[in-house]
């Protein structure tokens, strides 16, 4: 049955050799191979050369490299010995909310940011048991907890220039001396009284610290900012709504498709002045191509969710941007979801790859959008090379490669006074924030994601500063097949899935790929799992004390050994029922996610523990 | 309208009907402009009180169907629903369960709505009247089955996402401590 479902879900890979491998040990989830003939040399896709670097054993930013590959070149842990992996040391953070951050490793030190109150722990890996060297507490305002839509998470810190830099929930970007733990600078960039919070991990490019705001559910006006690495001073701000002058759209701006061309579309595609409270935050991932000198990222959903209150394309929400890191100047933009109907933020990661394409090499970014399509965009121009479904989609029919337009399914358009049923994917999309990995050895992307649908009904909503601006009742439910999560191996060249692992709960953790041909991910029950990068076959798993929604990383310790680290601690939007102690009788709780997660409290308690694994 | 119950019948029956009728009148009363106690109660701020501060056990409108339905509308109109959903919680805590962080007496809930609370609850006293606040108090309490069952709403105008308030089990409210912010591990032995 699962094989059939996967077949229906893949839409493309199904005429191929589809079979289901035998279920493994007790508790293993079905693992489905959709396409068996993976060439030994891989798919031909490589990490964009300029955006990667030789393996140095460190992990200085959440996505590992500028290409966001999350690939470790370390190969001590392999498919044949990963079964011997054991915890080397653990650390309880004392914070019991969703832990989404990636541990950062610089030299002999490791740094971890917790969920609110955003403590920063520094561990000396050269000491026995990796002793705690210092702890920094940025003391964010307690009231910021009431402005964060989907648990009080933090997606991690980045390292540059001797500083660990991250954003607090109450909109302070802080730079902390990596050696001493002393605050070097602190810049307040947002206002919780307007519903703004910050949860994303900064990307540091040259001397710019790139950050963005959260709050698409609070009527914020979204932005990305470039701060000075030395001082923290804000050097530029690009708004995601409003006139071209503040969106930093100028003469260099060349959108590929006609639908994204025109002047002041950030005003004209909104009724009245609603662009001022129109959402379009930036709480996800940024990639950088040094060869083109462009950063790439997507903006969040428009607000309110009720689409009848904002007729128009609502630019530049749910849009992918290419900008210059020094100045913020926009180079191209592509709006995936004009007039978004279902909370399909555009903030998911993009992995920068060079692929063989119609006989020549093409520099692309691959972006799994919330709307259920895996987009391959030309990095230089924003042209869509393909946009293929990676989950079951009912909300739309296809993406036109000619016009770039998303063909919506009119029967799934929310209208007040009417319940729209079985909208797939649900509001968190085919995939939410949880970042994918890519291995140049297999040429495959490893995509952790969910399989959810929803019923929804818009309600009239008024803007009250600092309160939610949503206007939609939602109840989510498992998608086709009944399992709520997948890990999908995606061939970025053919644009098709290769294998797929079903998980009972949404796979809300990031993925990690290593040169040992092992892929790691965590589950919301608390399993930390290793699978074969070529086949998806299960190799190892370890049960941590709480659900895992963090980002696994690999590094070389001062002792020369390879380690794998991940935070355990359930929460986030999907785990809010546990982290926030929500009531399962209300399926609309947590913006409708509780409807699909009623059984989670029975399988995991809250947590907040760092786990580090090694062989022996 | 209530007089129609006074029809010829057995004496005992009349007594029962009159009692029911009076209750029904209270349930159905519509008060468009009221002056419920406000200032003294709103002054109560951070401290959770277990006494009812001179307000009746269920608050001024806990047994009034019209005020409860007004409260339900206000709960949506003032975006309470965005944080607390339809009682199950989200950004804010659930309201349909037994746990109360800042007190469960009507006066406590009034103060929470009017003055806000430190972990993210905004203050609404500059946006809504004392009467509307009490209507919200009545509705919020009805979410966990408090107040008169007969007065609680039995249906929703929107998509069904939870059992109706009238069908919700009456929870026994308990005062809980706010969620701990953090207990960082001791740093002894480390420089």
For strands B174-175 and B99-100, give the pairing.
parallel
Facing B119 at nearest CB: one of A114, A142, A464: A142
What's the rounded Cα separation, in Å, for the pair A118 and A298? 24
List the CATH number of the domain containing B149: 1.10.760.10
The predicted pLDDT at position B21 comes to: 60
Using a CB–CB cutoff of 8 Å, tell me whether A475 touches chain B: yes
- Degrees to nearest 5, angle at CA A11 with A9 and A14: 100
Contact assessment for residue A244 and residue A250, using Cβ atoms and an 8 Å cutoff? yes
For strands A71-72 and A562-568, give the pairing.
unpaired
Q: Which of A582, A591, A601 has the most B C-beta neighbours within 10 Å, making it the best mutation to test the interface with B?
A: A582
Facing A468 at nearest CB: one of B82, B162, B168: B82
Using a CB–CB cutoff of 8 Å, tell me whether A416 touches chain B: no
Give which of A603, A609, A583 is closest to A27, Cα–Cα.
Answer: A603
What's the rounded Cα separation, in Å, for the pair A482 and A28? 16
What's the rounded Cα separation, in Å, for the pair B50 and B57? 11
Chain A neighbors of B85, CB-CB under 8 A: 582, 586, 588-591, 594
Q: Do B88 and A590 touch (CB under 8 A)?
A: yes
Q: How far is B178 from chain A (nearest CA, A)?
A: 12
Chain A neighbors of B77, CB-CB under 8 A: 462
Question: Where are the extended beta strands (E) located within A396-510?
Answer: 396-399, 406-408, 420-423, 437-439, 444-450, 452-458, 472-478, 485-491, 496-503
Q: What is the 3 state secondary structure string of chain B?
A: CHHHHCCCCCHHHHHHHHHHHHHHHHHHCCCCCCCCCCHHHHHCCCCCCCCCCCCCCCCCCCCCHHHHHHHHHHHHHCCHHHHHCCCCCCCCCCCCCCEECCCCCHHHHHHHHHHCECCCECCCCCCCCHHHHHHHHHHHHHHCCCCCCCCCCCCCCCCCCCCCHHHCCCCCCEECCCCCCCCCCCCCCCC
The predicted pLDDT at position A172 comes to: 98
Q: Do A587 and B88 touch (CB under 8 A)?
A: yes
Q: How far is A470 from chain B (nearest CA, A)?
A: 7
Q: How far is B42 from chain A (nearest CA, A)?
A: 20
The predicted pLDDT at position B179 comes to: 62
Residue range B11-61, pLDDT digits in tens: 666 665 565 566 666 777 887 777 776 645 554 543 444 444 455 678 889
Q: Could you give the percent of chain B with pLDDT greater than 70?
A: 70
Residues 6+ apart with CB under 8 A from A478: A451, A452, A453, A484, A596
| Residues of A catalogued as catalytic | 217, 301, 343
Strand partners, A298: A320
Residue B40 class from Cβ within 10 Å (0-12 exposed, 13-18 middle, 19+ buried)? Answer: exposed
Chain B neighbors of A456, CB-CB under 8 A: 159
SS3 A144: helix
The predicted pLDDT at position B41 comes to: 55
* Helix residue spans in A250-338 (DSSP H): 265-268
Contact assessment for residue A354 and residue A361, using Cβ atoms and an 8 Å cutoff? yes
Q: At what angle do helices B65-77 and B11-28 cross, to 10 degrees?
A: 20
At B188, list the tokens.
């002894």
Residue A181 class from Cβ within 10 Å (0-12 exposed, 13-18 middle, 19+ buried)? Answer: middle
Q: Do A590 and B159 touch (CB under 8 A)?
A: no
The residue ranges of every structural domain in chain A are 2-25+53-446+457-614
Query: Ramachandran region of residue A536, left (φ > 0), alpha (ψ -120 to 50) or beta?
Result: left
Q: Do B119 and A581 touch (CB under 8 A)?
A: no
Contact assessment for residue B128 and residue B139, using Cβ atoms and an 8 Å cutoff? no
Using a CB–CB cutoff of 8 Å, tell me whether A137 touches chain B: yes
Q: Do A131 and B189 touch (CB under 8 A)?
A: yes
From the CB of residue A128, how many other CB atoms can be counted at a distance below 10 Å? 7
On whether residue B180 sits in a domain, the answer given is: no
Q: How far is B34 from chain A (nearest CA, A)?
A: 25
Chain A neighbors of B179, CB-CB under 8 A: 96, 581
What number of CA atoms fall less than 13 Å from residue A553's CA on the CB side? 28
Query: Dihedrals φ, ψ of A577, to 5°?
Result: -60, -35
Nearest CA in chain A to B119: A143
Q: Do B88 and A135 touch (CB under 8 A)?
A: no
Nearest CA in chain B to A459: B158
What's the rounded Cα separation, in Å, for the pair A429 and A85? 33
Chain A neighbors of B120, CB-CB under 8 A: 142-147
Q: Could you give the percent of chain B with pLDDT greater than 90?
A: 57
Strand partners, A87: A613
Give which of A260, A229, A235, A279 is closest to A336, Cα–Cα.
Answer: A260
The predicted pLDDT at position B8 comes to: 54
- Domain residues for the domain of B149 are 10-175
A611 DSSP 8-state letter: E
On whether residue B17 sits in a domain, the answer given is: yes
Q: Do B182 and A459 touch (CB under 8 A)?
A: no
What's the rounded Cα separation, in Å, for the pair B80 and A220? 17
Q: Does domain A2-25+53-446+457-614 have CATH number 2.140.10.10?
A: yes
From the CB of residue B47, how many other CB atoms can be counted at a distance below 10 Å? 9
Contact assessment for residue A340 and residue A301, using Cβ atoms and an 8 Å cutoff? yes
Nearest CA in chain B to A147: B120
A569 DSSP 8-state letter: -
What's the rounded Cα separation, in Å, for the pair A444 and A490? 6
Give which of A257, A171, A159 is closest to A211, Cα–Cα.
Answer: A171
What's the rounded Cα separation, in Å, for the pair A235 and A325? 10
Q: How far is A592 from chain B (nearest CA, A)?
A: 8
What's the rounded Cα separation, in Å, for the pair A99 and A199? 11
What number of CA atoms fall less than 13 Å from residue A164's CA on the CB side? 34
Chain B neighbors of A149, CB-CB under 8 A: 90-91
Contact assessment for residue B111 and residue B32, using Cβ atoms and an 8 Å cutoff? no
Positions of chain A with pLDDT lower than 70, given as ranges? 1-30, 35-37
Q: Do B162 and A585 touch (CB under 8 A)?
A: yes
* Domain count of the fold of chain B: 1
At A521, list the tokens.
């991910």
Q: Do B91 and A146 touch (CB under 8 A)?
A: yes
On whether residue B14 sits in a domain, the answer given is: yes
On whether residue B146 sits in a domain, the answer given is: yes
Q: Do B88 and A588 touch (CB under 8 A)?
A: yes
On whether residue B67 sits in a domain, the answer given is: yes
* Helix residue spans in A433-588 (DSSP H): 576-579
């Amino acid at each position: 049955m699962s094989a059939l479902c996967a077949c229906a879900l893949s839409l493309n890979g199904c005429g191929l050799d589809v079979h289901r491998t035998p279920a493994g040990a007790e508790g293993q989830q079905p693992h489905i191979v959709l396409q068996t003939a993976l060439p030994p040399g891989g798919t031909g896709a490589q990490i964009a050369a300029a955006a990667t670097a030789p393996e140095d054993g460190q992990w200085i930013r959440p996505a590992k490299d500028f290409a966001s590959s999350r690939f470790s070149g370390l190969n001590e842990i392999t498919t044949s010995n990963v079964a011997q992996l054991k915890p080397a040391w653990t650390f309880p953070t004392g914070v019991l909310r969703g832990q989404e951050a990636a541990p950062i490793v610089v030299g002999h030190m490791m740094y971890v940011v917790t969920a609110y109150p955003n403590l920063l722990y520094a561990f000396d890996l050269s000491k026995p048991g990796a002793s705690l060297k210092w702890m920094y507490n940025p003391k964010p305002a307690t009231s910021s907890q009431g402005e964060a839509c989907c648990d009080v998470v933090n997606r991690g810190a980045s390292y540059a220039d001797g500083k660990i830099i991250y954003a607090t929930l109450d909109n302070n970007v802080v730079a902390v001396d990596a050696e001493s733990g002393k605050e070097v600078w602190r810049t307040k960039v947002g206002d919780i009284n307007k519903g703004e919070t910050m949860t994303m991990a900064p990307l540091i490019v040259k001397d710019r610290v790139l950050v963005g705001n959260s709050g698409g559910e609070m009527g914020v006006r979204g932005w990305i900012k470039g701060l000075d690495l030395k001082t923290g001073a804000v050097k530029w701000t690009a708004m995601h709504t409003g006139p071209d002058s503040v969106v930093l759209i100028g003469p260099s701006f060349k959108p590929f498709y006609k639908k994204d061309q025109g002047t002041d579309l950030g005003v004209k595609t909104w009724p009245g002045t609603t662009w001022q409270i129109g959402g379009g935050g930036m709480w996800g991932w940024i990639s950088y191509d040094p060869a083109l000198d462009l950063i790439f990222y997507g903006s969040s959903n428009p607000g309110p969710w009720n689409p009848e209150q904002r007729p128009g394309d609502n630019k530049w929400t749910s849009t992918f941007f290419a900008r210059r890191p020094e100045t913020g100047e926009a180079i191209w933009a592509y709006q995936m979801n004009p007039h978004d109907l279902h909370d399909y933020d555009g903030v998911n990661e993009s992995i920068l790859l060079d692929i063989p394409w119609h006989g020549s090499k093409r520099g692309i970014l691959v972006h799994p959008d919330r709307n259920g399509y895996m987009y391959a965009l030309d990095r230089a121009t924003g042209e869509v090379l393909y946009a293929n479904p990676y989950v079951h989609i009912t909300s739309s029919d296809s993406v036109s490669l000619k016009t770039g337009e998303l063909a919506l399914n009119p029967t799934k358009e929310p209208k007040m006074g009417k319940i729209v049923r079985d909208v797939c994917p649900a509001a968190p999309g085919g995939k939410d924030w949880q970042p994918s990995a890519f291995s140049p050895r297999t040429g495959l992307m490893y995509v952790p994601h969910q399989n959810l649908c929803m019923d929804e009904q818009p309600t009239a909503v008024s803007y009250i500063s600092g309160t939610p601006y949503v206007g939609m009742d939602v109840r989510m439910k498992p998608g086709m097949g009944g399992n709520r999560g997948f890990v999908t191996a995606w061939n970025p060249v053919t644009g098709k899935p290769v294998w797929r692992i079903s998980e009972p709960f949404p796979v809300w953790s990031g993925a990690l790929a290593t040169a040992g041909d092992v892929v790691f991910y965590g589950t919301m029950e608390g399993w930390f799992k290793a699978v074969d990068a070529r086949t998806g076959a299960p190799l190892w798993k370890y049960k941590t004390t709480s659900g895992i929604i963090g980002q696994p990383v690999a590094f070389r310790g001062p002792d020369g050994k390879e380690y794998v680290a991940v935070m355990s601690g359930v929460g986030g939007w999907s785990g809010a029922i546990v982290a926030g102690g929500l009531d399962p009788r209300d399926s609309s709780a947590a913006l409708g996610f509780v409807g699909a997660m009623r059984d989670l409290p029975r399988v995991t308690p809250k947590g907040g523990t760092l786990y580090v694994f090694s062989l022996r | 309208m209530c007089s129609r119950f006074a029809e010829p019948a057995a004496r005992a029956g009349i007594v029962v009907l009159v009692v029911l009728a009076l209750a029904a009148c209270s349930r159905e009363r519509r008060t468009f402009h009221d002056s419920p106690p406000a200032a003294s109660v709103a002054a109560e701020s951070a401290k959770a009180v277990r006494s009812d501060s001179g307000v009746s056990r269920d608050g001024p409108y806990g047994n009034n169907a019209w005020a409860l339905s007004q409260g339900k509308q206000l709960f949506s109109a003032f975006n309470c629903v965005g944080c607390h959903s339809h009682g199950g919680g989200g950004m804010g805590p659930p309201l349909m369960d037994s746990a109360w962080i800042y007190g469960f007496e009507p006066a406590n809930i009034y103060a929470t709505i009017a003055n806000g609370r430190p972990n993210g609850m905004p203050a609404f006293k500059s946006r809504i009247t004392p009467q509307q606040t009490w209507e919200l108090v009545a509705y919020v309490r009805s979410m966990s089955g408090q107040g008169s069952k007969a007065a609680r709403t039995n249906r929703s105008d929107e998509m069904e996402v939870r059992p109706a308030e009238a069908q919700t089990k009456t929870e026994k409210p308990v005062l809980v401590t706010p969620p701990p912010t953090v207990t960082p591990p001791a740093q002894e032995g480390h420089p």
